[in-house]
């Protein structure tokens, strides 16, 4: 049984809105609402006013989204030359970015430097040494690993050194005359609560204090990463409540430290919806199967790579039946929902996926050479 929230029906204006979008742009679509991204950004900024926000471009590298973050005056967390290219299209300066990939080719470092990025992240001595030729131009963050059981996506398994290693690395870097300016961590994406952030902030406070007694140029930057959650369960996430313990933990740090966060999911997830169309139906083994024009190889790829389940909506209500909604490819894993209760749908009916801005289109494939969903911008909501 699939436990995700499913909404049945919509008011006339909403139905008309979805139908007009498909009439105008075709199907499948991803509809991006800049107003929602601005609301999310402002809410996070209001609750953590002393933390500089760097949007994690990998969550959704679309140009319109980058443009909104640019308008908001936000920074960008980038990890590849391709992500730099998106920013270059908008003439966004590399000075507003941090390069957070702990493992880089030399060319990547040179491209990032030419782009204007000066902050790089490392978690081992080999990576520190790669920065030797550029040491006068870089400020480095050491990434620390704090494993989290409660996060949906563990981002401390593959990268990050232990707190003990951090001390050794900071001293090694100092010997090489490479400037470690602070520490960073990512406790995992889609955290259920902020316990891990709080624990990591306290541990980094202690580490920086220890390191600073042993190096000439003290560390004064703390990057608390991402992990701020999206509301996939429709329970209503109060970001102020989620961040209150983080805010309290940060308040204990020396007030001249520079604080950074790299939110991706929280900012962009609710700002994009997916619209797909029922292209076929069948009755198999007691289940009503509906075949859609988008699926897990496309906009719903986050169900595979990101372990997310998105709230769904159909535009009609009525008697419900056990139903399966599947994507357009010929592969059996291309199923969006295995067993949900839906009213009888007809070919041409629309299915809406909510909270679909983060790690959705970003991981889409072109499997079966099926066309990807077109991203359109909803500019009907006020944008200020
Ligand atoms: C993916 C990633 C982020 C964004 O994480 P969210 O949980 O989406 O906020 C931030 N920083 C780094 C280094 C990442 O890899």
The preferred substitution site among 48, 55, 58 for testing ligand 1, maximizing ligand atoms within 8 Å of CB, is 58
- Cα of 58 from ligand 1 centre, angstroms: 8
Q: Which residues contact 172 (CB under 8 A, 6 or more apart)?
A: 125, 128
pLDDT attached to residue 367: 97
Q: What is the CATH number of domain 6-31+269-377?
A: 2.40.37.10
pLDDT attached to residue 234: 94
Give the H/E segment covering residue 265: helix 265-268
Tell whether ligand 1 has an atom less than 6 A from the beta carbon of residue 77. Answer: yes
Average pLDDT on 55-78 reads 98
Q: What DSSP line would sit under 172-204, residue for residue?
A: HHHHTT--EEEEEE---BS-SSSHHHHHHHHHH
Q: How far apart are CA 316 and CA 9, in angstroms?
A: 4
CATH 3.20.20.10 maps onto the chain at: 34-268
Given a cut of 60, whether residue 365 has pLDDT beyond it is: yes
Given a cut of 70, whether residue 382 has pLDDT beyond it is: no
Q: List pLDDT tens digits, range 24-37.
A: 999 999 999 999 99
Closest C-alpha to 254, from 203, 183, 214, 205: 205
Q: How far apart are CA 182 and CA 117, in angstroms?
A: 16
For residue 144, what are the β-bridge partners? Answer: 161, 185
- Cα of 280 from ligand 1 centre, angstroms: 37
Given a cut of 80, whether residue 384 has pLDDT beyond it is: no
- The CATH number for 34-268, chosen from 3.30.70.240, 3.40.605.10, 3.20.20.10, 1.10.730.10, is 3.20.20.10
CATH 2.40.37.10 maps onto the chain at: 6-31+269-377
- DSSP letter for 153, please: B
The preferred substitution site among 77, 103, 230 for testing ligand 1, maximizing ligand atoms within 8 Å of CB, is 77
What's the length of the chain? 384
Q: Is 261 helix (H, G, I), strand (E, B) or coil?
A: strand
- Cα of 97 from ligand 1 centre, angstroms: 14
The residue behind tokens 């999911």 is 265
Before 28, cis peptide (omega within 30)? Answer: yes
Q: How far apart are CA 115 and CA 68, in angstroms?
A: 20
Tell whether ligand 1 has an atom less than 6 A from the beta carbon of residue 227. Answer: yes
């Amino acid at each position: 049984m699939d436990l995700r929230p499913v909404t049945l029906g919509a008011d006339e204006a909403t139905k008309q809105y979805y139908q007009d979008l498909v009439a105008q742009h075709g199907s499948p679509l991803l509809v991006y609402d800049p107003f929602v991204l601005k609301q999310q950004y402002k809410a996070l900024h209001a609750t953590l006013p002393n933390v500089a926000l760097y949007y994690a471009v990998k969550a959704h590298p679309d140009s319109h989204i980058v443009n909104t973050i640019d308008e908001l005056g936000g920074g960008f967390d980038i990890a590849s030359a391709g992500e730099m290219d998106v920013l270059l299209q908008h003439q966004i300066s590399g000075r507003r970015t941090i390069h957070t990939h702990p493992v880089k080719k030399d060319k990547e470092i040179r491209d990032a430097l030419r782009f204007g990025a000066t902050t790089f992240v490392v978690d081992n001595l080999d990576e520190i040494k790669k920065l030797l030729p550029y040491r006068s131009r870089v400020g480095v963050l050491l990434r620390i690993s704090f494993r989290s059981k409660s996060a949906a996506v563990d981002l401390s398994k593959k990268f990050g050194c232990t707190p003990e290693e951090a001390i050794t690395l900071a001293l090694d870097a100092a010997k090489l005359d490479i400037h470690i300016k602070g520490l960073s961590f990512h406790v995992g994406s889609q955290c259920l609560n902020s316990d891990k952030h709080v624990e990591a902030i306290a541990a980094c406070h202690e580490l920086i204090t220890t390191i600073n007694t042993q190096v000439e140029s003290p560390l004064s930057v703390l990057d608390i990463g991402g992990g701020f959650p999206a509301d996939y369960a429709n329970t209503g996430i109060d970001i102020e409540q989620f961040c209150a313990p983080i805010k309290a933990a940060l308040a204990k740090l020396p007030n001249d430290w520079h604080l950074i966060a790299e939110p991706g999911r929280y900012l962009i997830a609710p700002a994009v919806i997916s619209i797909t169309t029922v292209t076929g139906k069948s009755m198999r083994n007691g289940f009503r199967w509906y075949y859609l024009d988008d699926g897990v190889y496309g906009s719903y790829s986050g169900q595979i790579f990101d372990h997310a389940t998105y709230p769904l909506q159909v535009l009609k209500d009525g008697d419900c039946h056990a139903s399966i909604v599947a994507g357009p490819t010929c592969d059996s894993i291309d199923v969006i929902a295995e067993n949900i209760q839906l009213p009888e749908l007809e070919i041409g009916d629309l299915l809406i996926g909510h909270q679909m801005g983060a790690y959705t289109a970003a991981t889409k494939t072109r499997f079966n050479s099926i066309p990807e969903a077109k991203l359109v911008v909803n500019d009907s909501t006020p944008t200020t």
